């Protein structure tokens, strides 16, 4: 059921099909729906949020119950086990420690007499996190989105997540949000939640940047509000590409592939190996482990549609195929993973060695688990503190420095047909400021 | 004609109107057109580029003449003056020097026994620059887009720009492109050029990241292809906000405002000053300088519609208004500009002091002139080397490090209902790799 391919061109074309598994045409016809939701929220604000939550989530809210109350937040701590709270705190501490490394700092330089240049970093004023709800209630996603915002120094961090019935929010999510320092939590999801954060409503003040994963409606809404606010990325279904040599363990490989497949029938699990015998063992082991999987059917679907084992002639070929695919997660389960690293150009997160399953990074190693999907690693990066920072250029010229550069500036202004650009320099030379 | 407002609330609401001068509804009805151009180029490739160039630019091309030839590139050097070539080279050298500062570097750390974490930076494989054509042929824009790509280490840098009649490209643009190391130049513009770079045609191989400014069709096309490729930002019309105290020179201020207004009737030129007499002098001086402006009419239009002088009670109030507006360019023409810097939260580029007109930064100070517009400085940064880089997280755990973290990982996996995530750790503990 997990196919094995041996021919390089077959593997390559299959990888291309898997990478493009979300087609534009599946998306475009949903755009009108999302556009309408955005416009309705812009006009009717809270009323629209209440309406759409009733329609899509079958939950009746009021303007007062949109925001999760302090009592509910307190109660959440009683509803999670001590063990889970401890695990959340371990993850929090490690994610925070990693994200605090190498944060860009303000700097100035003095490249010439009378010239100061520099960069000055500031956080966005307010960030909004979208956290999926329902069955896929992931406290780790709360930590991975909120912690970099907090480390960046964002003053106001809000979170939206669709309500369950009652209409409660998963207590683990509420605990993770409080541990990470989220300031406001609203029980609203879907495109309407993105609209609320972008445009603001009576209850939800707008933010400047929206991050976090969601379904296709949420992703489309993020794309459409981009420009009104910043967004982190357009998240697609998750994927792992594993490169394994003969030293890798088939049981471990099978578990890693299934850990990806269990996310979503659209998730993709790919193994490239130099060892044909290993390929056989892994496919058998996947079948075996699937038998006991509590959510066998959707996991099986993912493996059948977007699972692949490719047998390749060398690790270099595997690296080249991986670069073409640009996986979200790349595992190097080989004897000398650091040696292959130089050949890897595009990947969201790289897991080196046989004792580093993706789950380590999903939860608590420290690096972010919000990663570029669907080939976006060709141009995009993991969510990071930098996502929540922006910088301003700083330029100061003295009167003498301006005199020195005036001819070149005026020449360029003339060439570009922008006379007032030239005048802004010329008039400073002809009519110098008495005070400067 | 350049209005003076004295009431804080009037200034604030006028700034809001100016910031929102590009309305969603002006944009949305163009989307269907752009969507169709994108789809046609995806299907018909070169043929579509030739068709749209005939339709929109009234230029007949063939597949062979799409790419600017080596002979044309050589000839361009004969067509620019020695003075202009020198100015381009001065600008090139200074922009390069600035962009080479503080480029993020690969790093690893060893936070615990058997754990290696890090970040590894790599450039995109191929970048495509959109350079506007026609009257607004700006060699500076070529330098500002190509140099950071080159400094980032991008191996393939291509450029597209709409053809003039003949169908030549402005020689200053061709020279700037060659000086900056652009590898391929194509004479095609508009949404069709963006589509060609995103999807590829027979002649133009696709790229991974598209940068550069353009008109509303180009900007819409960039928004729509985002996800297939990366983009720098959604550029709107240019704007400057000047904060001036009584020490500023009205003639200089007027020239700076006009230098912005001459770009585009939609450009915005704003002065906030603590000195009412200065406000009067500047508006008179703007009128005076306009009389001699070679493109008086469009410049006047910009000043009339989106020009504003606000008299405010303090520099702190000016800074607060500026933060609300989040200007692309901010000039601090005040006695102590560095003292006010702490109060500034959002701006693309900040020009400090009275001898630093925006033109210095537009051309050659070094920092990029591709800056966030229309309030995007609330969440976005100038174009920079980082735009052309992305990073991968690196994670390695030893078998012992995994054992130590296993309980927390398995607890979180269970809480999230992802059993195979837990299994990928549990099975490594239960059936350890004999080789590791």
The average pLDDT across B64-69 equals 96
Mutate to test the interface with B, among A20, A223, A381, A424 (most CBs of B within 10 A): A424
* Contact yes or no for B125 and A378 at CB 8 A: yes
Q: Note the pLDDT tens digit of each residue in B273-291.
A: 999 999 999 999 999 999 9
CATH 3.40.50.1980 placement within chain A: 4-22+236-366, 26-231
**Chain B contact for A87, CB < 8 A?**
yes
Q: Quote the ipTM score.
A: 0.97
Q: What is the CATH number of domain B26-109+121-231?
A: 3.40.50.1980
Q: Note the pLDDT tens digit of each residue in A383-411.
A: 999 999 999 999 999 999 999 999 999 99
Q: Which of A83, A138, A421 sits opposite B411 (nearest CB)?
A: A83
Residue with tokens 């995806």: B42
In Å, how far is B363's CA from the nearest CA of chain A?
Answer: 6
Report d(CA B186, CA B203) in Å as an integer. 9
Q: Note the pLDDT tens digit of each residue in A371-384.
A: 999 999 999 999 99
* Contact yes or no for A122 and B346 at CB 8 A: yes
Report d(CA A405, CA B348) in Å as an integer. 22
In Å, how far is B43's CA from the nearest CA of chain A?
Answer: 14
Q: Note the pLDDT tens digit of each residue in A210-227.
A: 999 999 999 999 999 999
Q: Helix (H, G, I), strand (E, B), or coil: what is residue B333?
A: strand
B416 carries a ligand binding annotation: yes
Q: What is the pLDDT, as a whole number, of residue B235?
A: 87
Residue with tokens 């309705």: A40
Report d(CA B90, CA A221) in Å as an integer. 44
Burial class (CB within 10 angstroms; exposed 0-12, middle 13-18, buried 19+) of A360: buried
Report d(CA B112, CA A97) in Å as an integer. 12
Q: Which of B35, B249, B399 sits opposite A355 (nearest CB)?
A: B399
* Contact yes or no for B358 and A125 at CB 8 A: no
Q: Note the pLDDT tens digit of each residue in B44-65.
A: 999 999 999 999 999 999 999 9
Measuring CA to CA, which residue among B52, B360, B278, B62 is closest to residue A429? B360
Residue B89 reports pLDDT greater than 90: yes
The average pLDDT across B112-116 equals 97
Nearest C-alpha in A relative to B255: A424
The answer to whether residues B176 and B143 touch, using CB atoms and an 8 Å cutoff, is yes
Q: What is the pLDDT, as a whole number, of residue A357?
A: 98
**Chain B contact for A32, CB < 8 A?**
no
Q: Which of A117, A139, A424 sits opposite B357 (nearest CB)?
A: A424
The average pLDDT across A341-348 equals 98
Burial class (CB within 10 angstroms; exposed 0-12, middle 13-18, buried 19+) of A22: middle
Q: What is the pLDDT, as a whole number, of residue B218?
A: 96
Identify the band that residue B434 occupies on the pLDDT scale cut at 50, 70 and 90: low
Burial class (CB within 10 angstroms; exposed 0-12, middle 13-18, buried 19+) of B434: exposed
Q: What is the pLDDT, as a whole number, of residue B433?
A: 78
Q: Which of A361, A364, A395 sits opposite B367 (nearest CB)?
A: A395
Nearest C-alpha in A relative to B365: A395
Could you tell me the two tokens for A197?
């954060």
Residue B25 reports pLDDT greater than 70: no
Q: Which of B124, B138, B382 sits opposite A393 (nearest CB)?
A: B382
Q: What is the pLDDT, as a whole number, of residue B435?
A: 56
Report d(CA A337, CA A36) in Å as an integer. 49
CATH 3.40.50.1980 placement within chain B: 4-22+236-366, 26-109+121-231
Looking at residue B364, what DSSP letter applies? T
- Which residues in chain A have Cβ-Cβ distances shorter than 8 Å to B423? 255, 258-259, 289
Q: What is the pLDDT, as a whole number, of residue A25?
A: 65
Q: Residues of A annotated as binding site for substrate?
A: 238, 260, 263, 329, 362, 416, 421
Identify the band that residue A198 occupies on the pLDDT scale cut at 50, 70 and 90: very high
Identify the band that residue A23 occupies on the pLDDT scale cut at 50, 70 and 90: confident
Give the H/E segment covering residue A150. Answer: helix A139-152
Q: Note the pLDDT tens digit of each residue in A175-197.
A: 999 999 999 999 999 999 999 99
* Contact yes or no for B367 and A424 at CB 8 A: no
* Contact yes or no for B91 and A412 at CB 8 A: yes
Report d(CA A50, CA A41) in Å as an integer. 10
**Chain A contact for B340, CB < 8 A?**
no
Could you tell me the two tokens for B267?
């450009």
Measuring CA to CA, which residue among A182, A229, A199 is closest to residue A67? A182
Q: Which of the four CATH numbers 3.40.50.1980, 3.40.50.1820, 3.40.50.2300, 3.40.50.11810 does domain A26-231 have?
A: 3.40.50.1980
Active site positions of B, annotated: 328-329
- B residues 253-282 lying closer than 8 A (beta carbon) to A: 255-256, 258-259, 261-263
In Å, how far is B69's CA from the nearest CA of chain A?
Answer: 23
Residue A142 reports pLDDT greater than 70: yes
* Contact yes or no for B378 and A101 at CB 8 A: no
Q: What is the pLDDT, as a whole number, of residue A135?
A: 65
Identify the band that residue A434 occupies on the pLDDT scale cut at 50, 70 and 90: low
Burial class (CB within 10 angstroms; exposed 0-12, middle 13-18, buried 19+) of B262: buried
Per-residue CA distances from A362 to A236, A254, B397 (Å): 16, 17, 13
Nearest C-alpha in B relative to A363: B409
Whole-number mean pLDDT of chain B? 96
Report d(CA A419, CA B312) in Å as an integer. 30
Q: What is the pLDDT, as a whole number, of residue B401?
A: 98
Could you tell me the two tokens for A210?
């929206």
Q: Note the pLDDT tens digit of each residue in B154-205.
A: 999 999 999 987 788 999 999 999 999 999 999 999 999 999 999 999 999 9
Report d(CA A412, CA A404) in Å as an integer. 15
* Contact yes or no for A435 and B407 at CB 8 A: no
Nearest C-alpha in B relative to A403: B355
**Chain B contact for A199, CB < 8 A?**
no
Residue B324 reports pLDDT greater than 90: yes
Q: What is the pLDDT, as a whole number, of residue B24?
A: 65
Identify the band that residue A137 occupies on the pLDDT scale cut at 50, 70 and 90: confident
* Contact yes or no for A348 and B255 at CB 8 A: no
Active site positions of A, annotated: 328-329
**Chain A contact for B326, CB < 8 A?**
no
Q: Which of B386, B395, B412 sits opposite A356 (nearest CB)?
A: B395
Sign (positive or negative) of CA dihedral B77, B82, B83, B85: positive
Enumerate the H helices of A292-365 as residue ranges. 296-306, 315-325, 337-340, 358-363
Report d(CA B70, CA B294) in Å as an integer. 35
- Which residues in chain B have Cβ-Cβ distances shorter than 8 Å to A421? 259, 262, 359, 362-363
Residue A435 reports pLDDT greater than 60: no
- Which residues in chain B have Cβ-Cβ distances shorter than 8 Å to A107? 101-102
- Which residues in chain B have Cβ-Cβ distances shorter than 8 Å to A226? 223, 226, 234
B171-180 vs B82-99: helix crossing angle, rounded to 10: 40
Cβ count near A6 (within 10 Å): 13
Sign (positive or negative) of CA dihedral B132, B133, B138, B142: positive
Phi-psi region of B227 (alpha: psi -120 to 50; beta: other; left: phi over 0): left
Q: Note the pLDDT tens digit of each residue in A42-67.
A: 999 999 999 999 999 999 999 999 99
Mutate to test the interface with B, among A420, A426, A434 (most CBs of B within 10 A): A420
pLDDT > 90: percent of chain B? 93
* Contact yes or no for B341 and A120 at CB 8 A: yes
- Partnered with residue B310 across adjacent β-strands are B5, B272
Q: What is the pLDDT, as a whole number, of residue A308?
A: 98
Instruction: Check if CATH label 3.40.1350.10 holds for domain A4-22+236-366.
Output: no
- Which residues in chain A have Cβ-Cβ distances shorter than 8 Å to B428? 249, 252, 355, 357
């Amino acid at each position: 059921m997990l196919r094995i391919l041996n021919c390089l061109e077959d593997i390559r074309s299959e990888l291309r099909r898997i990478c493009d598994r979300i087609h534009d045409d599946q998306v475009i016809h949903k755009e009108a729906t999302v556009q309408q939701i955005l416009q309705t929220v812009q006009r009717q604000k809270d009323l629209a949020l209440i309406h759409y939550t009733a329609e899509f989530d079958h939950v009746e809210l009021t303007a007062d119950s949109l925001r999760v109350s302090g009592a509910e937040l307190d109660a959440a701590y009683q509803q999670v086990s001590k063990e889970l709270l401890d695990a959340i705190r371990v993850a929090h501490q490690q994610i925070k420690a990693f994200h605090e490394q190498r944060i860009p700092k303000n700097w100035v330089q003095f490249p010439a007499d009378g010239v100061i240049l520099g960069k000055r970093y500031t956080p966005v004023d307010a960030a909004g996190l979208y956290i999926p709800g329902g069955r896929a209630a992931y406290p780790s996603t709360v930590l991975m989105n909120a912690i970099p915002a907090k480390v960046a120094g964002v003053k106001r961090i809000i979170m939206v997540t669709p309500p369950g019935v009652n209409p409660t929010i998963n207590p683990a999510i509420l605990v993770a949000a409080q541990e990470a320092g989220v300031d406001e939590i609203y029980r609203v999801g879907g495109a309407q939640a993105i609209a609320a954060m972008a445009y603001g409503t009576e209850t939800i003040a707008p933010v400047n940047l929206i991050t976090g994963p969601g379904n296709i409606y949420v992703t489309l809404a993020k794309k459409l509000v981009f420009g009104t606010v910043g967004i982190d990325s357009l998240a697609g279904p998750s994927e792992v590409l594993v490169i394994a040599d003969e030293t890798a363990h088939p049981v471990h490989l099978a578990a890693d592939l299934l850990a990806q497949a269990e996310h979503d029938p659209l998730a993709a699990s790919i193994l490239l190996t130099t060892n044909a015998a290993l390929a056989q063992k892994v496919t058998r082991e996947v079948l075996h482990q699937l038998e006991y999987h509590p959510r066998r059917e959707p996991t099986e679907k993912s493996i059948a549609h977007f699972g692949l084992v490719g047998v390749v002639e060398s690790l270099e070929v595997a690296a080249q195929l991986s670069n073409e695919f640009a996986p979200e997660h790349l595992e190097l389960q080989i004897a000398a993973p650091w040696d292959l690293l130089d050949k890897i150009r595009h990947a969201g997160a790289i897991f080196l060695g046989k004792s580093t399953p993706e789950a380590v990074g999903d939860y608590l190693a420290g690096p972010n688990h919000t990663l570029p999907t669907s080939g976006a690693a060709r141009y995009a990066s993991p969510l990071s503190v930098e996502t929540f920072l922006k910088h301003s250029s700083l330029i100061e010229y003295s009167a003498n420095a301006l005199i020195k550069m005036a001819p070149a500036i005026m020449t360029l202004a003339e060439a570009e047909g922008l006379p007032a650009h030239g005048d802004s320099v010329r008039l400073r030379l002809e009519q110098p400021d008495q005070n400067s």
